[in-house]
Every structure is written in C-alpha cells, then in structure tokens.
Amino acid sequence: MNIKSQKDFFSGLMFMGVGVAFAWGASGYSIGNGARMGPGYFPLVLGVLLAVLGGVITFKALVVETVDGDKVGAFAWKPLVFIILANLVFGAMIGGLPIIHLPPMGLIAGIYALTFIACLAGDAFKFKEAVVLATVLAVMSYLAFIKLLNLQFPVWPAFLGV
C-alpha cells in the first residue's frame, strides 16, 4: 500500500494519536452521565471524535489520489532549532534555571542572547549586524517596557544586586 497524500497521512496519524491520548487521559477522571457530567465526559467524547476523524483522514490519504503526492518535505531544522532555542534561552535568562545553577540574568542579557541565537537561524550570520540589532532592541525594550510601562522584569543580572 502506498501513501497517496503524505501530509494528510501524517496529520491523520497525529490527530489519532492526540485523540487517543486525550481520551485515555479523560478516562482517568470521573465520567458521570449525561445529566451530571464529570470532568472526563466532554474530553472523552472529543478525544474519541478526534481519533475517528484522524482515522478517516489517514484512510483517505491512502485511497484518494493527489496530483503530486502532497509531500511533507524536509524539515527546516536550522531555523526550527535556533528560533526555539533563542526563545528558551531568553526564558532561562529572565527567570534563571536552577537545574544548571543559572541565576536570573535579566532582560538585557536575555535580549542579547535571544538576538544572537535567532540571527543564527537566518541565511547569513553577520556578527556586527547582530550586535547592532541586539543593542537597538535592548535600548528600545528598556525604554518601552521598563521605563514607560513599568513592567516588573528583572533587568540586570541578579548577582549584581541592582
């Protein structure tokens, strides 16, 4: 059997998986009955529905012809990794990461880290450009979020004690 539409085949599998997972999770809560629904009732129904829909989508992907096979195509690992990583590092800089004994480094350090890592996701990394961009963003964010809006962000590294 060959897959006629890769995109639909895999999204069908995804829906089935997620549906089953939710339904299985919901069955752990009290279900109740129609008149008195427990917390598990609605998610269970939806989970089963999603799994069924996923099944139909997968089945159709195996049967219905498509023009070019609807290939999923290669994953863009480089931007995927760097964008998500930039975001995660920013989070770690703002809040600190006790697991690796990283103290909160604050907003400014976070902005520099985020900008550098995010720039690596682009086509060509230019160090100078990243420095300028990070500085501009840091100054702008400081003025807008800290000075103007008075948001409660840690701005400087915690160990400086400012």
Partner 1 sequence: MDLFNNLALGFGVAFTPVNLMYAFVGCFLGTVIGVLPGIGPLATIAMLLPATYALPPVSALIMLAGIYYGAQYGGSTTAILVNLPGESSSVVTVIDGYQMARNGRAGPALAAAGLGSFFAGCVGTLILAAFAAPLTELAFKFGPAEYFSLMILGLIGAVVLASGSLLKAIAMIVLGLLLGMVGTDVNSGVPRFSFDIPELTDGIGFIVIAMGVFGYGEIISNLGKHESEREVFTANVTGLWPTKEDFKNMVPAVLRGTALGSLLGILPGGGAVMAAFAAYTLEKKTPLRPGEVPFGKGNIRGVAAPESANNAGAQTSFIPLLTLGIPPNAVMALMVGAMTIHNIQPGPQVMTNNPELFWGLIASMWIGNLMLIVLNLPLIGIWIKLLSVPYRWLFPSIVLFCAIGVYSTNNSTFDIWMVGLFGFIGYLFIKLGAEPAPLLLGFILGPMMEEYLRRALLLSRGDWSVFITRPLSASLLAAAALLLVVVLLPSVKSKREEAFVED
Contact footprint for partner 1 (CB under 8 A): 7-8, 10-11, 14-15, 18-19, 22, 25-26, 29-30, 33-40, 42-43, 46-47, 49-50, 53-54, 56-57, 60, 64-65, 70, 72-73, 75-76, 78-80, 83-84, 86-88, 90-92, 94-95, 111, 114-115, 118-119, 121-123, 129, 133, 137, 141, 144-145, 149, 151-153
DSSP state of 159: G
Measuring CA to CA, how many Å separate 135 from each of 106, 112, 130?
15, 7, 8
Tokens of 137: 């963003």
CB of 151 or CB of 160, closer to partner 1: 151
Q: How far is the CB of 159 from partner 1 (least distance, A)?
A: 18
Q: Angle at the Cα of 158 (from 152 to 162), degrees rounded to 5?
A: 75
**Interatomic CA distance for residues 108 and 93, integer angstroms:** 9
